[in-house]
Amino acid sequence: MTAEPVLELSNISKRFGNLLANDDISLSLAQGELLALLGENGAGKTTLMNILFGHYTADEGEVRAFGSFLPPGRPRAAIEAGIGMVHQHFTLAGNLSVLDNIVIGTEALSKLRSDRSKARNKLTDLSEQFGLQVNPEALVGDLSVGEKQRVEILKALYRDARVLILDEPTAVLTSIEAEQLFKTLKGMTETGLSVIFISHKLAEVMSASERVVILRAGKVVAEKSTADTDRAELAELMVGRRVTRPVRQDQTAGGEILAARDVDVVEDGRKTLNKISFAVHSGEILGIIGVSGNGQASLGRLTCGLAAASAGTLVRNGQETRAFSPHALVEAGTARIPEDRNTEGAVGEMAIWENAVLERIHNPLFSSRGLVDRAACRTFTDELISRFDVRGAAPDTGTRLLSGGNMQKLILGRNLATSPNLIIANQPTRGLDEGAIAAVHSELLEARKTGAAILLISEDLDEVLALSDRVQAIFNGRLSEPIAATEADSKSVGLMMAGIWGGTDAA
């Protein structure tokens, strides 16, 4: 590493109304360094990086890149200075090829013809150099999430980035994809590239970074060499208190609330679920575990009323059907926590109070004779914000201004605050920090204690083993037989996730 920092942020402060998102923050980055920026949801991490990249303008402070002052509020200046940013929510055109997505914006409008051969050669060289394999002619819309992320990184490298910023890079990746990503990033730093990655996941921070800067409530509260700290210390620094996850207590389950019996689902001409069967009872958590892409999304849509069974039977409180009505599910006391908070969970352009009551606007608590009681809605939202610790929020705040984790807490809160009798929780802690995960687990276990039936769909093995009374694995659209939590461990469930159960290979 060079003695001269490649990047310096000095005394950065940024306000959004009454919210002080960044409070006099200073940090530096050395050449070839892999730096983790760690903090709770809403700690100010993404705001700080958006100031660095020019999306926001700081109220105070300055940024220097490679010794030169970086003009504020100008992403083009950041790119020209050698800074590339990969956002948590990808900025790619699904109807264009990989190559088109990467070269767009890099050629002058006056140029009559694009030199695709030269561009393809450069892209191929970068792919081989950094181990980011992707087909240049593939449509981005046909790529997996992991492949899309490779395209975003290649897009930055194609523009000759020497500093790479990644915002929550593993939020939507499987554990295998995450491991491969950090292996690639470490290889990049060996060539002199400098990397900052935003995270709240302690395991990946410890395994991937060399140094950690911890933010809390918009301030830098600590800076640690990764070799000189551990997960427990980082968690306490990040949250400001000792974090312990709740423990599931044994209890007797009640009657069947939700079931599927030999259900097939066909979507877009492809069978996504194949003769699946399960039952979840009052006062229990049934955990569905699997590697991403094995049918979890289809299962979530089916149980939330967004997809229909092509064969078999669904049962809710003893009533058989092939397809649930979303409205009827909500009216029957179902809490629906979708996998994708941005497209299915909330409307970004609406205020927080509108999203808080969106699914239950016809409830007499919130409306009467077709008129919305806005005061009651705002009161409910204030209580929700306080109970579920939605940071940087007021009832009239635009939902799109929330961090991803705080938007997730809003969606969880509006559902759990209504005392549901059935909870469909699809990746409920994705994107949440350690403190928020503990709080969500506590809420789910409390709902179980009071008699709610909970279908937990998750890719987090530790989460499923910690919360579930029974576990089923999903593989290639098929479900294993359930096993009791007392029989489940990481080895046995890992085999089930690979499609090996009942002494046979489900593939």
- In 87-218, beta strands by DSSP E: 163-167, 194-199, 211-216
Q: What is the pLDDT of residue 483?
A: 94
Q: What is the pLDDT of residue 90?
A: 78
Q: Is the pLDDT of residue 504 over 70?
A: no
Q: Is the pLDDT of residue 401 over 60?
A: yes
Quote the CA–CA distance of 234 and 240 in Å, as a whole number. Answer: 10
Answer whether 409's CB lies under 8 Å from 389's CB: yes
One-letter amino acid at 123 equals L
When pLDDT is averaged across residues 356-369 and rounded to a whole number, the result is 90
Q: Is the pLDDT of residue 300 over 60?
A: yes
Q: Which two tokens stand for residue 219?
A: 């301030």
Q: What DSSP letter does each residue of 124-170 carry, written as one string?
A: HHHHHHHT----TTSBGGGS-HHHHHHHHHHHHHHTT-SEEEEESTT
Range with the lowest mean pLDDT among 137-146, 301-310, 377-386?
137-146
Scanning the structure block, which residue is given the tokens 């400001």? 240
Report the run of H or E that residue 473 belongs to, with start and end. Answer: strand 470-475
Q: Is the pLDDT of residue 474 over 90?
A: yes
Quote the CA–CA distance of 248 and 320 in Å, as a whole number. Answer: 31
In this prediction the pTM is 0.74
| Predicted confidence band of residue 506 (pLDDT cuts 50, 70, 90) | low
Over residues 416-466, the pLDDT tens digits come to 888 899 999 998 887 777 888 888 899 899 999 999 999 999 988 889 999
Q: What is the pLDDT of residue 439?
A: 85
Nearest residue to 477 via CA among 285, 326, 301, 246 = 301
Over residues 186-241, the pLDDT tens digits come to 988 998 999 999 887 888 899 899 999 999 989 999 999 999 999 889 988 988 88
Q: Which two tokens stand for residue 61?
A: 């402070």
Considering the chain, tell me which residue range(s) the CATH 3.40.50.300 domain(s) occupy: 7-239, 250-333+421-507
Q: Is the pLDDT of residue 343 over 80?
A: no
User: Between 174 and 356, whose confidence is greater?
Assistant: 356
Sign of CA dihedral 337, 342, 347, 348: positive
| Predicted confidence band of residue 2 (pLDDT cuts 50, 70, 90) | very low
- In order of 41, 165, 299, the CA distances from 82 in angstroms are 28, 11, 43
Q: Is the pLDDT of residue 110 over 70?
A: no
Answer whether 200's CB lies under 8 Å from 41's CB: yes
When pLDDT is averaged across residues 341-362 and rounded to a whole number, the result is 88
Answer whether 25's CB lies under 8 Å from 13's CB: yes
When pLDDT is averaged across residues 325-348 and rounded to a whole number, the result is 87
User: Between 452 and 344, whose confidence is greater?
Assistant: 452
Answer whether 20's CB lies under 8 Å from 392's CB: no
| Predicted confidence band of residue 3 (pLDDT cuts 50, 70, 90) | low
Q: How many CA atoms lie within 13 A of 181 on its CB side?
A: 28
Q: What is the CATH number of domain 250-333+421-507?
A: 3.40.50.300
Q: Is the pLDDT of residue 166 over 50?
A: yes
Q: What percent of the chain has pLDDT over 90?
A: 50
Nearest residue to 35 via CA among 154, 195, 148 = 195
Answer whether 66's CB lies under 8 Å from 6's CB: yes
Strands 422-426, 256-267: pairing kind: unpaired
User: Between 201 and 356, whose confidence is greater?
Assistant: 356
Quote the CA–CA distance of 33 and 56 in Å, as a whole number. Answer: 25
Q: Is the pLDDT of residue 1 over 50?
A: no
How confident is the prediction for the chain on average, in pLDDT? 88
Q: Is the pLDDT of residue 132 over 90?
A: no
Return the SS3 of 260.
strand
- Longest Cα–Cα distance of the chain, Å, equals 72
**Backbone phi and psi for residue 457, each to the nearest 5 degrees, phi listed first:** -105, 115
Over residues 39-88, the pLDDT tens digits come to 887 889 989 999 999 999 999 999 999 999 999 999 999 999 999 988 87
Q: What is the pLDDT of residue 367?
A: 92
Residues 6+ apart with CB under 8 A from 146: 173, 174, 177, 180, 181
CATH superfamily for 7-239 is: P-loop containing nucleotide triphosphate hydrolases (3.40.50.300)
Over residues 138-164, the pLDDT tens digits come to 898 888 777 888 888 888 888 888 999
Q: Which two tokens stand for residue 100?
A: 């088109």
Q: What percent of the chain has pLDDT over 70?
A: 96
| Predicted confidence band of residue 175 (pLDDT cuts 50, 70, 90) | low
Q: Is the pLDDT of residue 35 over 50?
A: yes
Quote the CA–CA distance of 461 and 287 in Å, as a whole number. Answer: 10
